[in-house]
A and B are shown apart, each in its own frame.
Chain A
Amino acid sequence: MNKQELICINCPIGCHLEVTKTDQGLKVSGNQCKRGEIYAVNEITAPSRVLTSTVRVNSSFLRRLPVRTNKPIPKSMIFQAMEIIDKIVVNTPITIGDVITDNLMRTGVDLIASRSLSE
């Protein structure tokens, strides 16, 4: 039997999940909701995370603008993404949700502003 244990990170309950490889595909148990099952399958086949960070901003009010990816990116690409984020400089005004960099590393995921900043 090919089993793997995971802790669901969708919500604070943190269900202890068990994923079993069967002929019919992956079987998930221990979850209390559908999201747990989706998480477990994704975590085994293509683990991904929302990445949050900051970028330099030319602002009289703040030195760094908080940003995040608008969707999860592959876990394996996180440090590569950080290298790109480290080089970004933005100018004000910024509205929350503004795309800072689109299609990050050709993943189809955008880096967006986590807050507005007028000056």
Chain B
Amino acid sequence: MYDIVIIGAGIAGSFIARELSRFKLKILIVDRQNDVGNETTEANSAIIHAGYDAMADQLKGKFNAPGNKMFDTICDELDVPFKRIGSLVLGFNEDDRKTIQNLYNNGLKNNVPDMRILEKDEILQMEPKLNEDVVCALYAPTAGIIGAWEFAIASVENAMDNGVELELETEVTGIEKENFGYRIYTNKGEKDTKYIINCAGVYADVINNMVTEPYFSITPRKGNYYVLDKGLDLVNHIIFLCPTDKGKGVIITPTVHGNILIGPDSEFVNDKDSTATDVSGLRYVKERALLSSKAIPFNKVIRTFAGLRAHSDRNDFIIEEAKGAKGFINVAGFESPGLSAIPAVAQYVVNIMQKLTGGLIYKDNFNPRRRKTVCFNLLSDEEKKDIIKKNPMYGNIICRCETVTEAEIVDAINRNCGARSVKAVKKRTRAGMGRCQGGFCSPRVMEILARELGKDWTDIPYDSTKSYILTEETKRNQQDNDSKMGG
């Protein structure tokens, strides 16, 4: 019997699990994917918004700016890449100026610090590659960029370090109310629990409807993105266009790893698994991005992807005990600024749990710090020298584009919440994330995975266990025969 089962290991489920791992609770996280942070979490803008655009009377507005403030400490504890590079919302005409003034005023209501409205000269000084037609911009220095999936992985790892359990490729098929709480039916058996926290992303309504009357719906909003190669000197801040009804508009931003990310468009789709990129969406992204900067080198694109945002018909986060289901808490409609708000949201959820349980008890031995990961590429020459001496596997470069060593990959596999697939290695170490997209390193990553997990190469998947990479060995007609030769 679990105290709490968290359904979904995205940003919300992962970080809520980590915050609840401070208390004496038996907690299980289940996710239908073969890795944590494998849906919306791995396919979004990875931005920590300053908090000026959500309305103050909404949960989005209530939690964004406070959440933003908490990232420095959290990312230090969890060893997650995070940089406060600031954001600019560009205005090109008088209408935009009004919008920017409104955003500024709303930001004041939300207690967003240090905002300024900039004029053309200063903008172009800060960002010389922007479209010179820019007339004004809202500058919010507290906006930042983060490694989004690293944040989910680190949260779950830290939660597991503190006793939380994780079961992957576990899909919830039904939930029954019991006198002790709930019985959750999954493809991997039943889980009994007193409380459920529903963090199922675009499926949050489906999960809710397993226990109670439908009272909200989640519609996925798809967004296409381009990823550009490293080393392009394009922008230093997060660049927004003025928001439209299609969301915050197309963003150009550096990533924490030095790539450039451009996107998303916004299209409501019916299929909750529809992460296929599409021509029209990508074209829209390109056209809109070129309004912000005409200097984007689209010939340096190394990848395109699409992700889904979980948009609720309440047009806000839904964070509450479900109507008609005691002890079942929804964390739903968690679209942007969900990532930015999660630290504050998690505290709010902890408070809900405090009330429901009549008081949670702190663990004495809670460790808020995740063991630091080594990023060989970022070490100084002297540090590189020392670390190879200690562990020669740091001298074996597996991914040449991102300079990822064998030691880093082995570590990523053998930690709590360790990598089980080629993609999971990529998310943790960046091996295969670079310009050759794993062309050179994927056979070697597979070799290391097979060795560390004691599996055959053919059993190492790209992502889910169904996403096999290799079909079988060549020369499989091997049998005893007389053709042998040699020593």
Contacts and interface: CB of A to CB of B under 8 A. Distances in A.
Direct chain A–B contact by Cβ atoms under 8 Å:
yes
Interface of A: 54-56, 64, 83-94, 98-101
B484 A91 contact: yes
Contacts of B475: 54-56, 64, 85-88
B477 A83 contact: yes
Contact of B483 (A64, A88, A98): A88
A98 B478 contact: no
17 contacts: A54-B474, A56-B475, A56-B478, A64-B474, A83-B477, A85-B475, A87-B475, A87-B477, A87-B479, A88-B481, A88-B483, A89-B483, A90-B486, A91-B487, A92-B486, A98-B485, A98-B486
A91 B479 contact: no
A90 B478 contact: no
B244 to A, nearest CB: 55
Nearest to A55: B475
- What are the nearest 4 A-B pairs in CB distance? A86-B477, A91-B486, A88-B483, A56-B475
Contacts of B485: 90-91, 98-100
B466 interface: no
Interface of A is mostly: strand
Nearest to A117: B486
B390 interface: no
Interface of B: 474-479, 481, 483-487
Nearest to A86: B477
A98 B475 CA distance: 20
A84 B485 CA distance: 15
A85 B478 CA distance: 9
Given A87-B478, A87-B479, A92-B486, 13 more contacts: A64-B474, A83-B477, A85-B475, A87-B483, A88-B481, A88-B484, A89-B483, A90-B485, A91-B484, A91-B485, A93-B486, A94-B486, A100-B485
Contacts of B483: 84, 87-89, 100-101
Contacts of B478: 56, 86-87, 89
Contacts of B487: 91-93
B263 to A, nearest CB: 41
Contacts of B486: 90-94, 98
B337 to A, nearest CB: 50
Contacts of A94: 486
A90 B477 contact: no
A90 B485 CA distance: 5
A55 B481 CA distance: 13
Contacts of B484: 88-91
A57 B408 CA distance: 31
Output the residue of A83, A85, A86 with the most chain B CB within 10 A.
A86
A64 B443 CA distance: 15
Contacts of A91: 484-487
Contacts of B479: 87
A83 B481 CA distance: 13
A87 B483 CA distance: 8
B451 to A, nearest CB: 14
B474 A87 contact: no
Nearest to A84: B483
B450 to A, nearest CB: 12
Contacts of A87: 475, 477-479, 481, 483
Contacts of B481: 87-89
B487 to A, nearest CB: 5
Contacts of A55: 475
Nearest to A93: B487
A98 B485 CA distance: 9
Contacts of B474: 54, 64
A77 to B, nearest CB: 17
A99 B487 CA distance: 13
Contacts of B476: 86
A64 B486 CA distance: 15
B482 to A, nearest CB: 10
A84 B477 CA distance: 9
A114 to B, nearest CB: 14
A119 B477 CA distance: 24
Nearest to B484: A89
A69 to B, nearest CB: 15
A89 to B, nearest CB: 6
Nearest to A57: B486
A113 to B, nearest CB: 9
A23 B481 CA distance: 49
Contacts of A101: 483
A88 B478 CA distance: 7
A14 B209 CA distance: 67
Nearest to A94: B486
Contacts of A56: 475, 478
A99 B474 CA distance: 21
